[in-house]
Amino acid sequence: MTFPTQGLLRLTVLGLLVSGINGFAKRHGAKEDPALAAVSPGASKPMLWRDPKDISSRNLFYGPGGMKDQPPQGKYTFVEEDLNGTNPKIVVKDQDGVTWTVKLGAEAKPEVAATRLTWGIGYFATEDYFLRDLKVDGLPEHLHRGQRMVAADGSMHDVRLKRHLPDEKKVANWKWKDNTFSGTRELNGLRVLMAVINNWDLTDENAGIFMEKAKNGSGSKSAEQIYMVSDLGRPSERDARLGPCASAGATSMRTGTPNSSPR
C-alpha cells in the first residue's frame, strides 16, 4: 500500500469513527466509578469522548488549547527535571508564570500531531505545542537526560511544550482491559484510533483520569471527570525509524494493549 493510499484510508477510518461513536453515545452512557466518587464528590459522570459537533471548525494547527494558550515568545526559566517516561523532559515557567513540561527527542513532533487527531474527533488531549527553537534560563550544569540536546546557552530545538492547566488535576489511572467504559463504542473507537496513528505504547500508566473544572451555564465551575490518553508520543517516533507501515499490527485490537515487541 502506498503512503497516500494509506493516509486516505486512515482519514476515512477517522470519519467513520466519529459518525459511529456519535450515534451510540447518545443511547449508552458510562457507568460511574464508585472509587472515584470519594476522590472528587459532586463530579460529573466520567467522560471519554465529547461530540465535536462541527469538526470542520476545529483548528488542528493549534489544537485543544487554541491560539490563546500557545507558548509566548519570551523568557523561560528552569524549574526541575522530569524523570518520568523514556524521553528527556524538563519543567519550565514562562514570563507569565505558566508552567510547561518540555519534551526533547524524537517524540516531540509526532506527539503534537497525535493530540490534534485525537482531539479533532472528540477525544480529550493535553494542550501540546511544537517549537522549533526554545531557550531556557537557569539550567543546571548537567541534566540526567538529554544533555547532548541542549546547548551551553540553554538553547534547544524541535521540542514539545505541554501546558499545565491550573483547573486540571490527575487523580488516578484507568486500565485498558477493565474500566468504566468497557464494552462501549467510545472505548472501541479509541482503540481503533490508537491503531490508526500506530500508538503501540498503550500502557495503563499513560491512561489518566483527570478532574477538570469547567464553566457551566450559570458561569460557575463544576468538576468533570475526564478519561484521557496522556502520552501519545510513541506512534510516529517508531514509524520514523522503521518506515510508515512498520508498526501495523503492533496494537492488539481485542484488548487495546500492545503485543510484545522490542522497545
90-118 pLDDT, tens per residue?
Answer: 999 999 999 999 999 999 999 999 999 99
β-bridge pairing 89-94 and 168-173: unpaired
Lowest mean pLDDT among 126-135, 157-166, 223-232: 223-232
Q: How confident is the model at residue 200, as a pLDDT?
A: 82
Give per-residue pLDDT as tens, 193-238: 999 998 888 899 999 999 988 756 555 567 899 999 988 876 554 4
Give per-residue pLDDT as tens, 166-201: 999 999 999 999 999 999 999 999 999 999 998 888
- CA dihedral over 255, 256, 261, 263, signed as positive or negative: negative
Q: How confident is the model at residue 7, as a pLDDT?
A: 54
End of a domain among 147, 163, 179? 163
242 vs 233, residue with greater confidence: 233
| Domain annotation covers residue 263 | no
C-alpha span between 22 and 121 (Å, rounded): 10
Strands (E) located in the chain: 46-47, 76-82, 89-94, 99-103, 128-137, 155-163, 168-173, 207-215, 221-229
Confidence of residue 86 (pLDDT cuts 50, 70, 90): confident
Which grid coordinates are listed for 215?
464553566
| Position 126, amino acid | T
Q: How confident is the model at residue 213, as a pLDDT?
A: 82
C-alpha span between 227 and 139 (Å, rounded): 34
Same domain assignment for residues 153 and 226: no
Domain of residue 99: give its range: 63-163
11: pLDDT strictly greater than 60: no
Same domain assignment for residues 38 and 71: no
| Alpha-carbon Rg for the chain in angstroms | 19
| Domain annotation covers residue 35 | yes
Same domain assignment for residues 67 and 157: yes
> Which positions ≥6 away from 157 have C-beta within 8 Å?
132, 133, 134, 149
Classify 107 in phi/psi space as left (phi over 0), alpha (psi -120 to 50) or beta.
alpha
Same domain assignment for residues 175 and 234: yes
- Give the residue-averaged pLDDT of 5-21: 54
| Domain annotation covers residue 71 | yes
Q: How confident is the model at residue 13, as a pLDDT?
A: 53
Same domain assignment for residues 69 and 144: yes
Task: Please name the residue ranges forming H helices in the chain.
Answer: 3-25, 34-39, 108-120, 185-196, 234-242
| Domain annotation covers residue 103 | yes
**How many folded domains does the chain comprise?**
2
Q: How confident is the model at residue 45, as a pLDDT?
A: 85
Task: Please name the residue ranges forming H helices in 199-253.
Answer: 234-242
Q: How confident is the model at residue 26, as a pLDDT?
A: 44
147 vs 9, residue with greater confidence: 147
Classify 98 in phi/psi space as left (phi over 0), alpha (psi -120 to 50) or beta.
beta
Q: Using alpha carbons only, what angle is made at residue 142 by residues 138 and 145, rounded to the nearest 5 degrees?
A: 110
Give per-residue pLDDT as tens, 48-73: 999 998 889 999 999 999 999 999 99
Q: How confident is the model at residue 67, as a pLDDT?
A: 96
Q: How confident is the model at residue 245, as a pLDDT?
A: 34
Smallest CA-to-CA distance from 66 within 155, 163, 134, 137 is with 163
Same domain assignment for residues 126 and 70: yes
| Domain annotation covers residue 51 | yes
End of a domain among 139, 163, 187? 163
> Which positions ≥6 away from 142 have C-beta within 8 Å?
none
Same domain assignment for residues 199 and 131: no
4 vs 204, residue with greater confidence: 204
156: pLDDT strictly greater than 50: yes
- CA dihedral over 217, 221, 226, 229, signed as positive or negative: positive
Q: How far is CA 102 from CA 83, 133, 230, 262, in A?
A: 12, 12, 14, 26
C-alpha span between 31 and 4 (Å, rounded): 40
43: pLDDT strictly greater than 50: yes
End of a domain among 138, 163, 188? 163
Q: How confident is the model at residue 1, as a pLDDT?
A: 47
pTM: 0.77
Count of other CB atoms within 10 angstroms of residue 142: 6
Winning range, highest mean pLDDT, from 94-98, 229-233, 242-246, 259-263: 94-98
Same domain assignment for residues 180 and 133: no
Same domain assignment for residues 136 and 211: no
